Amino acid sequence: MESSYAQVLWKLVESGMTPAKAVAAVHASLLSAGRAELLPRVARAFERLADREAKKSDVVLTIAREKDERHAHAEVKAILADMGIDTKDLKTQVDDTLVGGWRLEGRGTLIDASYKNRLIQLYDRVTST
């Protein structure tokens, strides 16, 4: 039930209504239906929906250390050009569990050039025999 209200809220904002007016409209609808107690659950459902939508459009470069950022940007430049993405639209984050290398994910694409991935593949090959 709350996901339906969250989707309506998303569509209202997407259609051009200001977020404050959209929330007020959904809140008024919940009050008139006697379902005001759903508002916190609608907010959490909206947050999940926004996260899911952001993952569809955002492109994130995950690196192991901050000092690897320039090298990783140089390596993914051609990939980003093929995807039609400007390097200014690229979000970068640090994940020290990658050990080294980088991961590029977004818009339905995952390219994992991390040491962690290579180590896991090596471990799988060694232990599968």
Domain hosting 66: range is: 58-127
Domain boundary pick from 41, 56, 71: 56
Do 122 and 62 share a domain, yes or no? yes
| Contact by Cβ (8 Å): 10, 2 | no
pLDDT at 120 over 90: yes
Do 70 and 41 share a domain, yes or no? no
In the chain, the amino acid numbered 9 is: L
d(C-alpha 2, C-alpha 6), whole Å = 6
> Of 102, 60, 51, 66, whose CA–CA distance to 83 is shortest?
60
Confidence of residue 104 (pLDDT cuts 50, 70, 90): very high
Angle, in degrees to the nearest 10, between helices 2-14 and 19-32: 150
pLDDT at 36 over 90: no
Do 20 and 67 share a domain, yes or no? no
pLDDT at 109 over 90: no
Do 40 and 65 share a domain, yes or no? no
Do 50 and 31 share a domain, yes or no? yes
What confidence score (pLDDT) does residue 124 get? 95
What confidence score (pLDDT) does residue 85 get? 84
d(C-alpha 60, C-alpha 46), whole Å = 22
The region of weakest confidence among 18-22, 47-51, 82-86, 90-94 is: 82-86
- The predicted model gives 83-92 an average pLDDT of 84
* C-alpha pair distances (Å), 98 with each of 18, 34, 57, 79: 40, 49, 23, 20
* C-alpha pair distances (Å), 48 with each of 66, 68, 69: 29, 31, 29
- The predicted model gives 74-93 an average pLDDT of 87
- The predicted model gives 48-71 an average pLDDT of 86
pLDDT at 1 over 90: no
Do 47 and 73 share a domain, yes or no? no
Do 64 and 119 share a domain, yes or no? yes
Do 66 and 112 share a domain, yes or no? yes
Give me the number of domains the chain comprises.
2
Name the helix (H) or strand (E) containing 96: none
